Amino acid sequence: MRYGGEGRTRLLLIILIVTALFLITLDLRGVAVLDGARQGTQTVLSPFQKAGNFILTPVKNFVSDVTHLGRTRNQIEKLRADNAKLKADLLNRKNADAQLKQLKSVLDLAGTAGYKVVNTRVISQGSSQSFSQTVTIDSGSNAGIKKNMTVLSQSGIAGVVKDVYPTTALVMLATDPSFKIGVRIAGTQQIGILSGRGSRSGSLQLLDNLTTVKVGDVLLARGSVANRPFVPGVPVGYVTAVDNSAGEIAQSGTVRYYTNFGGLGVLAVVVAASSTNPGDALVPPKPVPTPIPTVTVYVTPSPSPTK
Amino acid sequence: MLTRQISLSAPIFLFIFLVQEAVVNQFKLPGGGFSLFVIFALVWAVISTPEIAALTGFGAGILMDMSQSAGGPVGQWTLIMIIICYGVSYLSYGDGNINGNPVGVVFFVVIANLSTGLLFLASSALLGVTTGGFGQILLTLLGNSLWTLALTPIVLPAFSFLHNFVFETRSVL
């Protein structure tokens, strides 16, 4: 309140606010100049993001290890037993191995369904300042990626291509609050809509009041017209809770995504779907419980000595 | 004088923006993390005149709108940053207890950062930009504020030094 608020400052403020409103109006009307400006910025930024990703990967691995210290205690204990050289080698190879594993799983998934994919690496996480969940990948329109293409992780759906630049693309993750996908319960034709909630859980709303869903049901992408934005058959997640409220027209529930969005390293963009619907072929196998060995001891009483 | 200030400020803002996009955004931090660029712009605004703060908000907002992780239309962040930067400078400028005192600056930056988030939510509701569930929003706002509270005292001396270098003022926070 101490500043006098001179006429010049107020005029400047009004001009700046009007300019901002003008920009918003232009963008909402779809003026191409603003898209071009964003694309240009991204083209300039992408080499720096790639360099940053390359340089900071060991730091990220270290932070990740510290974060998961409790969960990986046994592994750390085992590593401690190794000698210093082996540990150094392991640290250097860890990132490459993890990405290779993710890549193999993604290719397995895409190969089973007959999708033609472009494999990419995640080079930047989106800022949470905008309350959105996005990542930047290191391939763009030069690699054949277009807007509204399905993006796969090693376990299933990861998101959809939101914006494309020549050498990078912005992927809206399935956890983004504005993400919506038509899903089908595996083994049936029951359909619903799954929405992101900002976390690894999504909200499922079934469309038919005769449809029933139960905990453990697997959800697959239902597919879109011309396979964009979603190709059919991609595993999405499984139902963890069902809401059976009496007032609901159709059942709703909570779904846990197969994809671990905290550890995305390699993604695949589906540039062409197979000519046939893969159906339920991509449903992940249920984990087989490890049998616990039991030992039965038969005790036969020895005849008591008689005198 | 103004030409010198702009020609010195612009590369500094571009550099911090680059650090935000190429380094800070690489990390998925708990609680939604922080925006070094927003903290920088807000510190710059708090210790500047309202006129400079409004221009700072405009420049910073334009850069944030150019970032591909900006959720809304181009101009949304520009509008928000102009209002917030001008607002904090208007309230603090000339008051030595606020912009001459590191604690006051940190307090204003944290409040301004929170206000930035709230204004983004309000403008997103008007512009039809989806922002997520109540719990997630609350977590992000709280996380951003805590990160800002923790980080601002660390980076304040450097940002203050840069500000003094550009504007040739004597007091360093």
Instruction: Using pLDDT thresholds of 50, 70 and 90, give the confidence band for residue B25.
Output: confident
The domain spans of chain A are 82-283
CA dihedral B167, B54, B45, B89 (to 10 degrees): 110
Q: Tell me if chain B has a CB within 8 Å of the CB of A48.
A: yes
Q: Tell me if chain B has a CB within 8 Å of the CB of A18.
A: no
Residue A170 Cα, gap to closest chain B Cα (Å)? 7
Mark yes or no for CB contact A124/B25 under 8 Å.
yes
Mark yes or no for CB contact B82/A17 under 8 Å.
yes
User: For the ranges A138-142, B17-21, B66-70, which has the lowest average pLDDT?
Assistant: B66-70
Q: Taking 70 as the threshold, does the pLDDT of residue A5 lie above it? A: no
Give me the pLDDT at residue B145, please. 93
Q: Number of folded domains in chain B?
A: 1
Give me the pLDDT at residue B22, please. 87
Q: What is the average pLDDT across A137-149?
A: 91
Over the stretch A254-286, which tens digit does the pLDDT of each residue have? Answer: 999 988 887 788 899 998 877 777 777 777 776
A248, A238 Cβ separation under 8 angstroms: no
**What proportion of chain A, given as a percentage, has pLDDT over 70?**
84
A213 or B79, higher pLDDT: B79
The size of the A-B interface in CB pairs under 8 A is: 174
Q: What is the average pLDDT across A166-192?
A: 88
Residue A164 Cα, gap to closest chain B Cα (Å)? 10
B83 contacts in A (CB within 8 Å)? 17
Residue A268 Cα, gap to closest chain B Cα (Å)? 19
Cα separation, A165 vs A145, in Å, equals: 9
Between A13, A127, A197, which is nearest B86 by CB? A13
Mark yes or no for CB contact B74/A17 under 8 Å.
no
Q: Which of residues 218-257 of A touch B (CB under 8 A)?
A: none
Give me the pLDDT at residue A227, please. 80
Over the stretch B130-172, which tens digit does the pLDDT of each residue have? Answer: 777 788 888 889 999 999 999 999 999 999 999 988 887 655 5
Cα separation, B104 vs B114, in Å, equals: 15
A289 or A293, higher pLDDT: A293
Residues sharing a CB contact under 8 Å with residue A136, sequence separation 6 or more, in sequence order? A46, A49, A122, A123, A124, A125, A126, A168, A169, A170, A171, B68, B69
Token couple for A197 = 């909630």
Q: Which of residues 96-135 of A touch B (CB under 8 A)?
A: 124-132, 134
Give me the pLDDT at residue A110, please. 76
Mark yes or no for CB contact A16/B140 under 8 Å.
no
User: Between β-strands A157-164 and A116-125, what pairing exists: parallel, antiparallel or unpaired?
Assistant: unpaired
A150, A269 Cβ separation under 8 angstroms: yes
Q: Which domain holds residue B13?
A: 2-167
Cα separation, A264 vs A102, in Å, equals: 9
Between A17, A127, A132, which is nearest B35 by CB? A127
Q: What is the average pLDDT across B77-82?
A: 94
CA distances from B54 to A96, A192, B155 (A): 46, 48, 22
Give me the pLDDT at residue A64, please. 67
A53, A136 Cβ separation under 8 angstroms: no
Mark yes or no for CB contact B74/A126 under 8 Å.
no
B105, B53 Cβ separation under 8 angstroms: no
In a domain, B98, yes or no: yes
Q: What is the average pLDDT across A141-161?
A: 90
In a domain, B79, yes or no: yes
Residue A20 Cα, gap to closest chain B Cα (Å)? 5
B154, B160 Cβ separation under 8 angstroms: no
Give me the pLDDT at residue A274, please. 76
User: For the ranges A100-109, A148-157, A179-188, which has the lowest average pLDDT?
Assistant: A100-109
Q: What is the average pLDDT across B40-64?
A: 93
In a domain, B90, yes or no: yes
Token couple for B20 = 């935000």
Over the stretch B97-128, which tens digit does the pLDDT of each residue have? Answer: 776 788 989 999 999 999 999 999 999 888 88
* Residue B105 one-letter amino acid: V
Cα separation, A117 vs A228, in Å, equals: 14
| 3-state secondary structure (DSSP) of residue A8 | helix
Q: What is the average pLDDT across A103-122?
A: 81
Query: How many other CB atoms are there within 10 angstroms of residue A288's CB atom?
Result: 6
In a domain, B80, yes or no: yes
A126 contacts in B (CB within 8 Å)? 25, 69
In a domain, B172, yes or no: no
* CA B76 remoteness from chain centre: 14
Give me the pLDDT at residue B87, please. 93
Q: CATH no. for residue B47?
A: 1.10.1760
The CATH T-level fold of domain A82-283 is Thrombin, subunit H (2.40.10)
The residue of chain B nearest to residue A40, with distances taken between CA atoms, is B66
B93 or A70, higher pLDDT: B93
Over the stretch A216-255, which tens digit does the pLDDT of each residue have? Answer: 888 999 888 888 889 888 899 999 988 877 666 778 889 9
Over the stretch A30-83, which tens digit does the pLDDT of each residue have? Answer: 877 777 888 888 888 888 888 888 888 777 777 666 666 666 666 666 666 676
Kindly tell me the burial class for residue B102, based on how many C-beta atoms sit within 10 Å of its own C-beta (0-12, 13-18, 19 or more): middle
Q: What is the average pLDDT across A170-178?
A: 90
**What proportion of chain A, given as a percentage, has pLDDT over 90?**
15
Q: Tell me if chain B has a CB within 8 Å of the CB of A178.
A: yes
B142 contacts in A (CB within 8 Å)? none
CA angle A268, A113, A132 (to 5 degrees): 35
| 3-state secondary structure (DSSP) of residue A267 | strand
Kindly tell me the burial class for residue A205, based on how many C-beta atoms sit within 10 Å of its own C-beta (0-12, 13-18, 19 or more): middle
Residue A154 Cα, gap to closest chain B Cα (Å)? 19
Between A26, A131, A134, which is nearest B131 by CB? A131
Give me the pLDDT at residue A1, please. 47
Q: Taking 60 as the threshold, does the pLDDT of residue A19 lie above it? A: yes
Q: What is the average pLDDT across A86-90?
A: 66
B74, B123 Cβ separation under 8 angstroms: no
| 3-state secondary structure (DSSP) of residue A205 | strand
The residue of chain A nearest to residue B117, with distances taken between CA atoms, is A129
A181, A189 Cβ separation under 8 angstroms: no
Token couple for B57 = 């908000």
How many CA within 13 A on the CB side of residue B56? 29
